[in-house]
Every structure is written in structure tokens, then in C-alpha cells.
Structure 1
Amino acid sequence: MSPWAAPPTDATWLAEETDRLFAFGRRFPHPLGGAAWLTTDGTPDLGKPRHTWITARMAHVYSLGHLLGVPGAGHLADVALAGLTGVLHDPDHGGWHPAITSDGRPEPGKSCYDHTFVVLAASSATLAGRPGAPELLTDALDVLDKRFWNHDDEMFADRWDTPWSRLDDYRGLNANMHAVEAMLAAHDATGDAEHLRRALAVTKRAVVWGRQHGWRLPEHFDAGWQPRPDYHHDRRHDPFQPFGATVGHALEWSRLILHLEAALGPDAGDWLLPAAKALFDRAVQDGWAVDGAPGFVYTTDWDGAPVVRQRMHWVAAEAIAAAAALHARTGDERYTAWFRIWCAYVREHVADPAHGSWWHELDPANQPAATTWPGKPDLYHAVQAMLLPRVPLAPGLAASCARIGAAR
């Protein structure tokens, strides 16, 4: 699939929506460093914490923008990177705080999820030639290796206390999924094949769990990597660790598996494509329009019944990207059909032409809601959904954008 050769649909909309998203996020810089939480109209909410994951995602997104020639994107990427090397970094113990509160206090703990996004941001920024990005990438990879990677399990642990003195017993697949994404990006930025090997090791474990559970992926585990199917049964709307199977993660894994397969090339096994297809099919069967209205439910139980019926923007974004990836890999027109359906759904219900960006959450009737996600803090999923259909499966998004920028 050649660069910018989108599956058959309105390619003009993909390009225009990308530009609209980049424009919406421009006000993210917080006056005290890092990324501010953006409200519905893009106004910074200075009363909310400055999160590492949001700051890193903004660094990643605007690094992509710089590679594509978006005016001012390089400066915005640098502002986000300065937040990662400055206020959000822990100068005493190393690594990154989850967030800095509105009164300037670091939130406690150290999260693998946050650190994977620092690696992603630094990888993209390195490929974009941003000052200090290679040094940030070296630091972030070192922390991820020494603090989170377990050589015996060949998986990433989830969370420590602030001084790295106590590792929590919880293990999570979400952080490992984003670690796969980070490892693929780091391989593009460094050429180090060890990153691909780790991405493959994690993916093998995830696929085994998928097969064992009817392709409804367990998300939560104990320290021995035994699934905890009832975890957070009483916190079903948790934005990062909800109960049950998360439909959007099956779609995200489906796409990442295909990126990994493409990156491995001839060394890829014949099990990757069937796994990607199975995860995609399960997510669509369990999640899409199962309650009488278009849209993906957020989570299901282990029999596939909806649990949280809210529609999250990131799930629709990952559905678009997964359908495009499967179309690129197989040429099967059924994936093109889904791609068109979900692009139309986003245009009708999720995109917000009046205020910009995408509604981050809709209720089951596809009306704006804020049960789980108030405001519009995150450009990452939406921007990637508009770009991924227009680039090859490998190399990764930043590397592909770099090639496109160099060819202009």
C-alpha cells in the first residue's frame, strides 16, 4: 500500500479532519509546563492536573505534524517535550510522575502506561529531528527496561511507588499493549532489533490469552500473570482499568499485530494475521451497534453482553485504523465496507464541527456525555485514525511521515 493511498472513501475528509484536529489542540501548552487538559472548545483547564500521558501524546502528535509540514507543529512538539524533561520528570528517583496537580504537587507512583507514551513521544520526536529527543528516548528506554521489563515473564510490570521501592502485584495488558506500540516506534527510531523481539514476546502472550477466552482479551492479572476476570467489577466506568473485555483494545491489538508482522517481515509467523482477524471479528460482533443504535459499546462481560454502553471516541478511531490495516494486509473489501461505515459514523456523531476535535464520549443515544471523559484532552487516537489509513503497515507512523515529508 503506497503512502497516502487510503482505502476507497472520502480521502479529502481524512486530510481535512487531520488539519482540523491539529488546529484544535494548539492551545494545549500549560503556562507552568506540560500539557493542559483541554475542554470541549479547546480552552485549557488550568485547574486539572498536567498528565504525563497527555503531554507525551501531544509531543507525539505534533512531531507527526512537523514531519507533515504543519506550520508551528515543531514548536508545539518542543513545548510538550520540555514538559517531559522538566516538570513531569522525577529528578530525585528518575522516571516520570503520573501528573502534576494544580497546586504543583507530583501525584504518587510510577506507571508503565505513562512511560510507554514517553518512549513513543521521544521516538517520534527523534525521527522529527526535535532537539533533545534522542537523549529523552535513551532515558525513557532505560527506565522502561530496568524498572518495568521482566526478563523471566517477558512482559512489562504495571506500577511502582514513587521511589521505586515497591512493585505493585497488579499486572495489566493495557500497559503491555502500549508497550508494543512503543517498542515498534523505538525500533524505527533506533534500529535496535531487541525492541521488536520484546514486542513479539508480549504479543505472543496476548494472543494465547485471546484464544483461551474466545478472543475477549483479559485485561487484569495478578503478579503471576493469572487473569483476574472480576477485577473492578464495582468500577465499571474506570477509564483505564474497567471490568470485563474492552472492545476498543481488541481492535487496537488487531492493528498492532499487523504492524508487528510487517516490521518482522520474513521472520513473522503465520499466526499473526489469523489472530488479528479473530480479534477484529470478536470486537465487531460484541461491540458494534449491539443495543439498537450505531456505535461501539465500551466494555462487555465474558459472554459478550454489553456492560458499559457509552461510546468512546477512541474506540471508533481504533476501529477505523484496524479496518484500514486489515484492508491493506488482505485486500478484502469487507474491511473497506467497515472502514466506510465507521468513517461515516464519526462524521455524523463523533466529530464536533462547531467546537473542534471529536466528542470524547457519547451516551448510548450518541449524545455528548462526560461520565468517563470530560472535555477533549486527547488528539492521539483521532489523529492516528486519520493518518494510519494513508501509510504502509511498516515502518511506523512517524517513520512513514518522515518519508512523506522528505519526498515533498
Structure 2
Amino acid sequence: MTATRTAAERRARTSRARLLATLRVQYPDALAARGYRLLHPETGDYYTGDHRHLVATCRSIANFAAGALADGPDWCVEAADHGLTFLTEAHESDDGGFHLVVEADGTPVDRTRSAYGHAFVLLAYARATAAGIDDAREGLAETHALVEDRFRDEAGLLRSDCDADWTELEPYRGQNANMHACEAYIAAYEATDEATYLDRARHIAEAITVDLAADTNGLLWEHYTTDWDHDFEYNADEPRHQFRPPGYQPGHHAEWAKFLALLDRYDATDPDALERGAVEGDAGGAIDDAGDADGDGTEGGWYGRALDLFDAAVDRGWAENGFVYTHRADGSPLVEDRYGWALAEGIGAAAALTERAAARGDEETAARLREWHRRFLVCTDLFRGPAGVWYEKRLPADAEGDLVAPEPPGVEPDYHPASAAFESWRSARAEPDDAP
């Protein structure tokens, strides 16, 4: 084994250690008699109250299943299975949908049928299937059928949140729920090797990151009408909205870069013949029919588009101590709060893209991405609390600013840091033998 390969293996071991350390902070304190509890980043105590959020339940399942996939302790499977039991017994309704918020005893608090939440149900079942947990594959197939029946619209994308009777709550379409559906379908393909899941992921990715982005100079807008027209005025008066702020989110550009890197890893029908433009002002340009940006040797397809989005995230959003929350089309900051999840997604994207660059022999790009991965990792201590759990964000923008913990019931059981470590682990393991 060469010294070069040893370096990649060392990165993999370090990333696996970060993943398991993140899970050890959660286990067993985050486990309740039923479901999971959110832990406070400063004290490590669990939040009081019996409310359980669907997204947090599913993210915790995905976290522990990822630990099992990384050959973690036996309790990773036990903890994931614990969450699956609560998901089916408490969150799932009689019609197959899932309540957004429930009491610990399963009493519904919020019966919203959330598109975003159901995307995470898909992800939870996909990761649990990959981890070999009993009945998870059946749950994955059933949830896929539910999403197809209840959420997939005429464009082949997810529609918006619905009431308990499946009536849409507002005339809205959002990229965020679709992004996480793409994530879930990629994970489902990884777990089952079923082409339908990859097809769904591919369709969503092309629609959001290629077709719709063509009208915004390659940047990704968040909000749309029911006809998938850009709604630039949506929530314009709520710049700090937790889930649907106005403006462009560099964290989501990094997150999409990670998912497109995974599509480059798995998708034999790489869309390198599509006409699309790089982000205006970036190094790339329009992709020609050969998949080459302006004929300058830059590769296209999923890989080229992923690099476009990653570069857009760091060029417009990186501020040395984290990513700004949102910015305007010209790159000027809109909300400068630094969210921990965006930093974590930058870590995962840099890792996944490093592996793809190395696989293509693009060593100059791989070296650049490894340096970004290192720079992002240096900043994680700015968001990790004394208990080892990440704060939600820093405000104001500077590194000495106030830290903000998640509000209960919360949706973030360190899913983003765990996902970043998981992707860093498996991407480093997948690097070719001659990668430095």
C-alpha cells in the first residue's frame, strides 16, 4: 500500500471517528421511552416537554443507521430501530401519512402532511434498509408509493404541505423539500439498487439545479408558484424565516453540490449534453454538447454542475467563520447569521466532490477541495457547544457573536454534522489508490 493511499485511509478513519463521536453524544441520552429527545448544546440536558417532531425523528433514525453502516457499535442499530418503532406507532396516521408533531404517546399535535417531513421519512427508511433493519425495506416501498400518490405533482416534483385531508395549505412549491427528496431517493438507490429511485433523484436534480436555475444565472432560488414559476416576493418581509427565507442560500448550494456529486458517482446517464450555464461570474461557462465548459477542458454533467454550485456557495457565501444565511443575486449578504448546518453541508460537499475529482484524475481540483474541507473543519468548534452538540447558529455574524440553541421541539439532532462525517468517511474510502 502506498503512502498516498495511507493518507486517504487516514482521512476515512478520522471522519468515521467524528461520526461515532457525534452519535455517542446522542446515545443514550437522546433516547426516550418513546422516540427521541433533543439535547441542549450547552448543558447536554434533554429539552423538557413531550412534543416530537417528524423531521427530528427521521433524522435521528438516519444518523444511527449511518453509524451502523460505518461499522459502529451494536447500539447504532438498536437506536435506529427504536426510532422506527416510534415513527410507525406515533407519527404514522391511519391513511399512511405522517403527522408533523406528536406527543410522546402518539397524540397528534400538528397533523400537517409536510412534504419536507415525508422526504425525511423516505430517508429514514432508506438508511435503515441499508443498515439491514427488519421491515425497513417494506416501509421504504410504502413511503415511496405514498409520496408518488400524494405529493408528486404534474412536473414530477413534490408539491407543498397539506392538511390532514391532503388539501394543500397554500399555493406553493419549494426547492428545499425537493432537495431532500432527491437526497432520500439517492439513499434509497444505495440501499436497494432499484433504478426507480435513481430515476426520481435524477429528475428532481435536473429540474431544480439545471432547468429552473437557467432563469437565475445558475443560482438556486427557493420559492415557486404551483406552476413552478419563480416567486421572488415569497416571504420577502421575513428575512430570518427558519425554513423559507427570501434570498439565495449558499448552504443549499453546497448541499446540492454534494447530491450532484453522488449522482455523478452512481448515474450512468450523466446529463453532459444538457445546455446550461455556470453561475455568472464563476470560472466556468455554458456547457456545450460535449459537456465541456466553453471548450476550456472543464467537464460538464453532474460533476461540472456540482462544482459550479460549490464554487457559488464559497464565492458568495463563505465568510471565514461560516456561511452567511442568505444573499442577494449580486452576492451581497441579506442575512449574515451563520448557521451550523450550512457549514456541515460544506464539509460533506467538499468530501464528495474530492472523491469525484480524484476518480476523474482531476488532481488540481481535488487538492483545492481537500483544502476547503480542512478549512471548514477548522470552524466546527465555533458551533459545537460544551456538551458536544452543535448550536443552531451564531448571531450576529462575527465569531464572538451570540450562540443560539434550537427551539423545542427542534428538528436538528446533529443530523448535518453526522451526515458530513458520514459522507467524508465513505468518500475518502472510495478515493482511488493513487489519490493523495
Same topology, TM > 0.5: yes
Where in structure 1 do 4 or more consecutive aligned residues deviate above 4 Å? 4-13, 371-376
Classify 1:286/1:168 alpha carbon distance in 2 versus 1 (closer, same or farther; 3 Å): same
Instruction: State the 1:101 CA deviation.
Output: 4.8
Which of 134, 139, 143 is matched with 1:140 structurally?
A: 143
Task: Say if 2:235 and 2:245, in contact at 8 Å, map to a contact too.
Answer: yes
Instruction: State the 1:240 CA deviation.
Output: 1.2
Q: Distance in 1 between matches of 2:250 and 2:266?
A: 25
Instruction: State the 1:373 CA deviation.
Output: 5.6
Instruction: State the 1:390 CA deviation.
Output: 2.3
1:360 aligns with 2:362: no
Q: Residue 129 of structure 1 corresponds to which residue in structure 2?
A: 132
Q: Residue 340 of structure 1 corresponds to which residue in structure 2?
A: 374
For 2:392, give the aligned amino acid: H
Q: Distance in 2 between matches of 1:165 and 1:394?
A: 45
Q: Residue 183 of structure 2 corresponds to which residue in structure 1?
A: 181
Q: Residue 403 of structure 1 corresponds to which residue in structure 2?
A: none
Task: Say if 1:232 and 1:241, in contact at 8 Å, map to a contact too.
Answer: yes
1:6-50 per-position Cα deviation (integer Å, ceiling 9, x unaligned): 76986665343222211111222233x322222223322132620
Task: Say if 1:98 and 1:108, in contact at 8 Å, map to a contact too.
Answer: yes
1:296 aligns with 2:323: yes
1:21 aligns with 2:22: yes
1:130-158 per-position Cα deviation (integer Å, ceiling 9, x unaligned): 122122212211111111112x3121112
Q: Residue 318 of structure 1 corresponds to which residue in structure 2?
A: 345
1:66 aligns with 2:96: no
Task: Say if 2:351 and 2:428, in contact at 8 Å, map to a contact too.
Answer: no
Classify 1:272/1:393 alpha carbon distance in 2 versus 1 (closer, same or farther; 3 Å): farther
Task: Say if 1:34 and 1:51, in contact at 8 Å, map to a contact too.
Answer: no
The alignment partner of 1:225 has SS state of coil
1:212 aligns with 2:209: no
Q: Distance in 2 between matches of 1:130 and 1:210?
A: 38
Task: Say if 2:16 and 2:425, in contact at 8 Å, map to a contact too.
Answer: no
1:279-323 per-position Cα deviation (integer Å, ceiling 9, x unaligned): 11111111111xxx5221111122222122111111111111111
1:76 aligns with 2:91: no
For 1:272, give the aligned amino acid: W
Q: Distance in 2 between matches of 1:351 and 1:62?
A: 19
What TM-score do the two structures reach when normalised by structure 2?
A: 0.82
Q: Distance in 2 between matches of 1:239 and 1:30?
A: 26
Task: Say if 1:6 and 1:389, in contact at 8 Å, map to a contact too.
Answer: no
Instruction: State the 1:274 CA deviation.
Output: 2.0
The alignment partner of 2:334 has SS state of strand
Which of 235, 242, 245 is matched with 1:242 structurally?
A: 245
Task: Say if 2:171 and 2:225, in contact at 8 Å, map to a contact too.
Answer: yes
Classify 1:90/1:129 alpha carbon distance in 2 versus 1 (closer, same or farther; 3 Å): same
Q: Distance in 2 between matches of 1:240 and 1:101?
A: 22
1:287 aligns with 2:317: yes
Q: Distance in 2 between matches of 1:194 and 1:101?
A: 35
1:197 aligns with 2:163: no
1:239-274 per-position Cα deviation (integer Å, ceiling 9, x unaligned): 211111111000001110111121113655343222
1:171-225 per-position Cα deviation (integer Å, ceiling 9, x unaligned): 0000110111111111222322121112111111112222331332110011000
Stretch of structure 1 that moved more, 256-265 or 189-198: 189-198
Task: Say if 2:31 and 2:37, in contact at 8 Å, map to a contact too.
Answer: yes
Q: Residue 278 of structure 1 corresponds to which residue in structure 2?
A: 308
Classify 1:134/1:394 alpha carbon distance in 2 versus 1 (closer, same or farther; 3 Å): farther
1:379 aligns with 2:406: no
Matches within 5 A, 1:44-55: 44-47=46-49, 49-55=51-57
Classify 1:394/1:157 alpha carbon distance in 2 versus 1 (closer, same or farther; 3 Å): farther
Q: Distance in 2 between matches of 1:70 and 1:371?
A: 28
Which runs of 5 or more structure 1 residues have no equivalent in the other structure?
401-408
Q: Distance in 1 between matches of 2:350 and 2:241?
A: 26
Q: Residue 35 of structure 2 corresponds to which residue in structure 1?
A: 34
Which runs of 5 or more structure 2 residues have no equivalent in the other structure?
273-290, 292-300, 358-362, 432-436
Task: Say if 2:35 and 2:104, in contact at 8 Å, map to a contact too.
Answer: no
For 2:417, give the aligned amino acid: A
Task: Say if 2:179 and 2:256, in contact at 8 Å, map to a contact too.
Answer: yes
Stretch of structure 1 that moved more, 330-339 or 253-262: 330-339
The alignment partner of 1:149 has SS state of coil
